[in-house]
Amino acid sequence: MSVWLTGAVVVLTLVAAVVLVVALVRDEPAQDRTFALLAVTEVVLVVQLVVGCVLLAGTERDVDGVLFVSYLVGVTLALPVGVFWSLAERTRAGTAVLLVAVLTVVALQLRLEVIWSGRA
Amino acid sequence: MRDASLSSGPGRVLVFVYGVFAVAATGRSLVQLGTEADRAPVAYTLSLVAAVIYLVATTCLLRGGVRAWRVAVVACTVELVGVLAVGTLSYVDTALFPDRTVWSHFGQGYAFLPLVLPFLGLAWLRATRPTAG
């Protein structure tokens, strides 16, 4: 997998996680810039989906293709669903949902790396 | 009757976490059963059971109402018994669980969240106990 893409996703999501924890502690709803940050992350995730599929097609590694692609698709869904679900309630609960969505992306990135390395 | 209280406030966070686990467990068990069912039939079947429990819990929290509340209590209780039983079994009888599942080793592969979730679920259901009946 592209180290640059995974790195970008992890950095973006960790920054978002910190911003969301601060919002949670201050009991403020998530700001527009936070949503913009999540949107940028989502764009990178979609790029990762495309690049991941291309790399999978050309690799000699022993990667479980079905598993790999299902994780790539799954990781692109976490943020949109989380944002949608959080917008109905712009309180601490909504912010917490965003935080869970962001952490889900981080966890899935780690799994993706393991699957790509063929150790899954 | 639609009662939004089960899926608002802390319930909203719970629904999302349960939803993530429902998708994760369903996907995992289907892939496992579809590609290598012979390797660990017991473990993979239990994975599917876990997936169904998560789906039921998510649906009940989303629907709300007295009946959904009752079903959710049953689902969370089964989930708690399941994660404790499978968690213990996976340490005692390693031959039965050659591959990781959602509940084996008390959900170690999922940051032990599968062990924490049923407690959170039951605590939330306790807090939202329907007053009538």
Q: What is the pLDDT of residues A78-96, one digit of tens each?
A: 999 999 999 999 999 999 9
Q: Which of A81, A94, A107 is nearest residue B12 as measured by Cβ atoms? A: A94
pLDDT at B87 over 70: yes
Which residues in chain B are contacts of A97 at CB distance < 8 A? 12-13, 16
Give residues with Cβ within 8 angstroms of B30, minimum separation 6.
B48
Residues from B in contact with A at Cβ < 8 Å: 8-13, 15-17, 19-20, 23-24, 27, 31, 35, 111
Number of domains in chain A: 1
Tell me how close the Cα of B124 comes to any Cα of chain A, in angstroms.
14
Instruction: Look at residue B34 in the predicted model and tell me its pLDDT.
Output: 84
The whole domain housing A70 covers: 3-116
User: Which of these, B15, B16, B20, B52, lies nearest to B33 by C-alpha position?
Assistant: B52
Percent of chain A with pLDDT over 70: 98
Summarised one tens digit per residue, pLDDT across range A49-80 is: 999 999 999 988 888 888 899 999 999 999 99
Instruction: Look at residue A62 in the predicted model and tell me its pLDDT.
Output: 84
Q: Give the HSE-up count for residue A88: Cα atoms under 13 Å, Cβ half-sphere.
A: 13
pLDDT at B70 over 80: yes
Residues from A in contact with B at Cβ < 8 Å: 66-67, 70, 74, 78, 81-82, 85-86, 88-89, 91, 93-94, 96-97, 100-101, 104, 107
Which has more pLDDT, A85 or B109? A85
CA A104 and chain centroid, separation: 7
A contact test, residue of B13, B33, B120 with most A CBs within 10 A: B13
pLDDT at B2 over 60: no
Which residues in chain B are contacts of A88 at CB distance < 8 A? 12
Which has more pLDDT, B19 or B103? B19
Tell me how close the Cα of A8 comes to any Cα of chain B, in angstroms.
23
Which has more pLDDT, B122 or B30? B122
pLDDT at B58 over 70: yes
- Alpha-carbon separation of residue A71 from A52, A114, B27, B28, B38 (angstroms): 10, 11, 9, 10, 23
pLDDT at B1 over 70: no
Which has more pLDDT, B28 or B56? B56
Average pLDDT value for residue range B46-64 = 93
Average pLDDT value for residue range B85-97 = 86
Instruction: Look at residue B132 in the predicted model and tell me its pLDDT.
Output: 60
Q: Is the separation of the CB atoms in B46 and B114 below 8 Å?
A: no
